[in-house]
A and B are shown apart, each in its own frame.
Chain A
Amino acid sequence: MRPFVQRRFAGLILLIAALVALVFGHAQLAPSLRHMAALTGWALLAVCLFLTAYNARKKLPFLPLGNSRTWLQLHAYVGYFSVGLFMVHTGWRWPSGWFEGILAVLYTAVALSGVLGLFWSRVVPRRLTACGDEVVFERIPIVRRQLAERAEQLALDSVVSTQSAAIADFYNLHLAGYFVDPGSLWQHWVGTHRTARRLLDKLEDLQRFLNADQKKVLDELVLLVRRKDSIDEQHALQLSLRLWLFVHIPLTYSLLVFTAFHIVLVFGFSAGVGTK
């Protein structure tokens, strides 16, 4: 068995064991423990704080706080476990009050964004590698501009070199906007490449009207369209990997703030309960 599969297998077994222990333990202890909700609540808070601590670990790489990969593994499995803890804490039902409702929505959003982010960060790297021509995210606008300038130059030069405006007209009509536009994020996230495909079809169709010199120019334009499509795809995918954290992390901090209010409210409204 490959080490990664082994690790995943071991993690899943442990997670299932922990969840089973949680559910059974809760079922056994709930009738006899008066403050079970408080106990699971504090446990959930501790788990949430631990999950949030991963972000702090990332910010302090020079402190000997362990490897990020171990933290991520723990983050993922403890995160899954927290779902079980949340269900137990809420009594397997959606909260009825508006404040608790918001809290539950926030928790669900954080958990879902985490799971989706993990899935996305496992899928996207392979797609990025398949793009080829690896470009660092910050350099993408520069490469895009270079491609646009090259395409424009080719179209302009073709008027003189081929004694025809066919390619320049085509460029003005179909390509100029394409090279300037950053492209549809959605298309690249789902991987349809529709815009580029249509342009390539149009370029192929144009080819039958051109002579040998014009075809040479067209061939280079085809390459530029393909390269632009690849750059757009890299941009969309790399952006998505950054964007999901901009969802997950603010939601996490919002959740912590609401949790703090939740604790205050719980203690406020429980004053005197059980003291009589």
Chain B
Amino acid sequence: MDDTILKGERPGRWDSPLDPGFVEADLDRLLGIAPFREMNPESFPRRQPLRAILQNDCRIRRFQRGELIVRAGDFGSSAFMILGGSVRVVLPPGLPDEVLGRRAPGRKSLFKIVAQLWNNHRHPEVRTPEELGSKTGNLVGEGAEARVFLQDVPRLIEQNKTVTVGAGEFFGEIAALSRMPRTATILADTDDTELLEIRWQGLRDLLKYDPTLRAHIDALYRKNTLSNALRSFPLFQHLNEEQLQRVAAQTQFGTFGDYDWSGDYKKLAQSGSNAPERETPIAQEGDYPDGVVFVRSGFARLTKRFANGQRTLNYLGAGRSFGLREIAHNWRHPDRTVPFQASLRVIGYTHTLFVPTHVMEEIVLPGAPASALPEPMPANVETAEEVDPLHEQGGFAERIGPELMEFLTSRRFFNGTATMVINLDRCTRCDDCVRACASTHDNNPRFLRHGPISSGIQVAQACMHCVDPVCMIGCPTGAIHRDASGGNVVINQSTCIGCTSCANNCPYEAIRMVEARNERGGFVIDAEMRPIVKATKCDLCLDQYGGPACERACPHDALTRMDLTHLDRLAQWLER
């Protein structure tokens, strides 16, 4: 028997460079211009040299005048530096949705709703000629490499407030680093505008090893984003401008985990390597509380020691904080201080703001309204040897059960703001939900009544309208976007070019590609005899009255669309 063990190559950091055609001459050129010229190669470790970072995580792209570079509201994992030419930044309120290739928000009129009785197509996935063509300016190229040019740029510039940015400037770095939506639409202002695109991993490493760039980005972040970010937390809303600036000056921001968590989270779940014990800790139970951690984006898991492992108490998404309860307690009772009562660990990717304890005690806590402060800690917290972890953090782990809590966390279902949750103890498997969905969506349901189950609760394969919609990263035409009226993730059929990038990115397999048909039921094909495909997913029946048809169609109160970023509603729903 051949018992030879074949040893494969361990996948490396740069197995897939951003641009395999990136040549030495380009690299030398980059190293000759600021800020790379000023970077000290010696400050980079040998395994991550500056040249390798630039060679593997960067690419040079050229844009023509009027070509869209980034759209406001899109998610992106790259930052850009202008090498040549200039770009035009469209300031708020920005370009209309239709111009950006998005669907105009709005419901069908009552007449159109009723007219579905006779207007609905007999065949599945019928597309009108309008839905088959692109309405977003001129489209060049195919698939994920397709590029969009806006039409009548001078008029757009005239009708909107814009600023021009020239060579040497960075843009998109905050969105890439903090995984927040792009704040402005940017288009090329000159022909042959040359941009250096740096993907997130490369930018992270450059910031890590080059203090000058770090200081530059840090200053930009503090200037443009930090004050507003702090203001979004209720705890800072009572501060005056001067106090807020003092807090901002001492706030540290951090990014933890892997930006590309979505691509392989299922593999992680199967291998068990996403167990809390293996996740990067942001703060550890038992440590001195040196500051409050505010989650700005992404997710973190709150855990407590249990036997030889870590039990999940809750998960914290954007807007939640960690350590405030302990710091408020220590501030109120300086003679009875307590350490962190739980640990905070990264799930996938987390972007945080860290406000040190002394800043909290001196500036924030003294004037904070009682409503913004957490509940006081129990009287015996310092002496209690063993506190039942399930009772802590609102008792969610106890109310929904530790198994379900672990299930939701390990499978990243906390990402969903409209997750389809089915109580199998009530569901008669009648499929009324599926039929209702098909009736309202081109005779083809936009979800599968199928999915993982825990404690009698099934999470169906339906778009969850994620807080962190990774499906939106990489859409070349902006067809998949957040609806302006409610923030739900929708696809504009007119501008979807069927490149499959959203379907491939979705970690929950909630997006399906379908072959479009004409009104007679025949498949629509292009000039090269290939079928026209479109991405489809749940749109929460945004254009219908009364909410999602699936939920309205369930006779047994078994199915609901639920925001799982907070567990209150789930606990109430389970306790019915």
- State which of A17-25, A67-75, A247-255 sits at the interface with chain B: A67-75
Q: Collect the chain A residues with CB atoms within 8 Å of residue B450's CB.
A: 134, 136
Against B, the Cβ 8 Å flags (1 = close, 0 = not) of A108-134 are 000000000000010011101100001
Q: Which of B417-459 contact A (CB under 8 A)?
A: 424-430, 432, 435-436, 439-440, 449-450, 453, 456, 458
Q: Collect the chain A residues with CB atoms within 8 Å of residue B120's CB.
A: 62
Q: Collect the chain A residues with CB atoms within 8 Å of residue B456's CB.
A: 129
Q: Collect the chain A residues with CB atoms within 8 Å of residue B558's CB.
A: 125
Q: Is B453 in contact with A134, judged by CB distance below 8 angstroms?
A: yes
A136 to chain B, nearest CB (A): 6
Q: Is A4 in contact with B576, judged by CB distance below 8 angstroms?
A: yes
Q: Is B552 in contact with A67, judged by CB distance below 8 angstroms?
A: yes
Q: Which of B518-559 contact A (CB under 8 A)?
A: 544-546, 549, 551-558
Q: Collect the chain A residues with CB atoms within 8 Å of residue B549's CB.
A: 61-62
Tell me which of A61, A125, A129, A238 has the highest count of chain B C-beta atoms within 10 A of its own C-beta: A61
Q: Is B576 in contact with A238, judged by CB distance below 8 angstroms?
A: no
Q: Which of B125-149 contact A (CB under 8 A)?
A: none
Q: Is A129 in contact with B425, judged by CB distance below 8 angstroms?
A: yes
Number of A-B contacts (CB under 8 A): 82
Q: Is B576 in contact with A137, judged by CB distance below 8 angstroms?
A: no
What residue of chain B has the Cβ atom nearest to residue A117's Cβ? B428
Q: Collect the chain A residues with CB atoms within 8 Å of residue B430's CB.
A: 241-242
Q: Which of A223-276 contact B (CB under 8 A)?
A: 238, 241-242
Q: Is A2 in contact with B576, judged by CB distance below 8 angstroms?
A: yes
Answer yes or no: A160 CB below 8 A from chain B CBs: no
Q: Is B436 in contact with A61, judged by CB distance below 8 angstroms?
A: yes
Q: Collect the chain B residues with CB atoms within 8 Å of residue A62's CB.
A: 113, 116, 120, 436, 439-440, 544, 549
Q: Collect the chain A residues with CB atoms within 8 Å of residue B458's CB.
A: 134
Q: Collect the chain A residues with CB atoms within 8 Å of residue B435's CB.
A: 61
| A66 CA / B551 CA spacing, docked (Å) | 11
Q: Which of A47-104 contact B (CB under 8 A)?
A: 58, 60-64, 66-69, 71-72
Answer yes or no: B23 CB below 8 A from chain A CBs: no
A1 to chain B, nearest CB (A): 11
Q: Collect the chain B residues with CB atoms within 8 Å of residue A68's CB.
A: 432, 552-555
Which of A3, A69, A128, A137 is close to B556, meaning CB atoms less than 8 Å apart?
A69
Q: Are A2 and B449 CB-contacts (below 8 A) given A63-B113, A121-B556?
A: no
What residue of chain A has the Cβ atom nearest to residue B435's Cβ? A61
Q: Which of B440-490 contact A (CB under 8 A)?
A: 440, 449-450, 453, 456, 458
Q: Collect the chain A residues with CB atoms within 8 Å of residue B553's CB.
A: 58, 61, 68
Which of B428, B440, B546 is close to A124, meaning CB atoms less than 8 Å apart?
B428
Q: Which of B170-210 contact A (CB under 8 A)?
A: none
Q: Collect the chain A residues with CB atoms within 8 Å of residue B440's CB.
A: 61-62
Against B, the Cβ 8 Å flags (1 = close, 0 = not) of A185-219 are 00000000000000000000000000000000000
Q: Collect the chain A residues with CB atoms within 8 Å of residue B426's CB.
A: 125
Answer yes or no: B114 CB below 8 A from chain A CBs: yes
| A67 CA / B450 CA spacing, docked (Å) | 23
Q: Is B575 in contact with A125, judged by CB distance below 8 angstroms?
A: no
> Interface extent on B, as a size class?
35 or more
What residue of chain A has the Cβ atom nearest to residue B558's Cβ? A125
Against A, the Cβ 8 Å flags (1 = close, 0 = not) of B555-572 are 111100000000000000
Q: Is A241 in contact with B555, judged by CB distance below 8 angstroms?
A: no
What residue of chain A has the Cβ atom nearest to residue B552's Cβ? A67
A151 to chain B, nearest CB (A): 25
Against B, the Cβ 8 Å flags (1 = close, 0 = not) of A24-61 are 00000000000000000000000000000000001011
Which of A61, A72, A129, A136 is close to B439, meaning CB atoms less than 8 Å apart?
A61
What residue of chain A has the Cβ atom nearest to residue B456's Cβ? A129
Answer yes or no: B6 CB below 8 A from chain A CBs: no
A246 to chain B, nearest CB (A): 13
Q: Is B546 in contact with A64, judged by CB distance below 8 angstroms?
A: yes
Answer yes or no: B1 CB below 8 A from chain A CBs: no
Q: Collect the chain B residues with CB atoms within 8 Å of residue A3's CB.
A: 576
Q: Collect the chain A residues with CB atoms within 8 Å of residue B436's CB.
A: 61-62
| A64 CA / B541 CA spacing, docked (Å) | 12
Answer yes or no: B117 CB below 8 A from chain A CBs: yes
Q: Is A69 in contact with B575, judged by CB distance below 8 angstroms?
A: no
B309 to chain A, nearest CB (A): 25
Q: Is A238 in contact with B429, judged by CB distance below 8 angstroms?
A: yes
Q: Are A61 and B428 CB-contacts (below 8 A) given A4-B576, A69-B557?
A: no
Q: Collect the chain B residues with CB atoms within 8 Å of residue A126's CB.
A: 425
Which of B425, B439, B555 is close to A69, meaning CB atoms less than 8 Å apart?
B555
Which of A2, A58, A125 is close to B428, meaning CB atoms less than 8 Å apart?
A125
A116 to chain B, nearest CB (A): 14
| A126 CA / B456 CA spacing, docked (Å) | 9
| 6 other A-B residue contacts (CB within 8 Å) besides A62-B113, A67-B551 | A61-B435, A61-B436, A61-B553, A62-B120, A69-B557, A241-B430
Can you list 27 A-B contacts (CB < 8 A)?
A3-B576, A60-B117, A61-B439, A61-B440, A61-B553, A62-B120, A62-B544, A64-B110, A64-B545, A66-B552, A67-B546, A68-B432, A68-B553, A69-B554, A69-B556, A121-B428, A124-B428, A125-B424, A125-B426, A125-B427, A125-B429, A126-B425, A128-B429, A134-B450, A136-B429, A136-B450, A242-B430
Interface residues of B (CB under 8 A from A): 110, 113-114, 116-117, 120, 424-430, 432, 435-436, 439-440, 449-450, 453, 456, 458, 544-546, 549, 551-558, 575-576
Interface residues of A (CB under 8 A from B): 2-4, 58, 60-64, 66-69, 71-72, 121, 124-126, 128-129, 134, 136-137, 238, 241-242
Pick the 8 closest A-B CB pairs, nearest first.
Answer: A61-B436, A64-B545, A72-B555, A129-B424, A68-B555, A62-B440, A121-B428, A3-B576
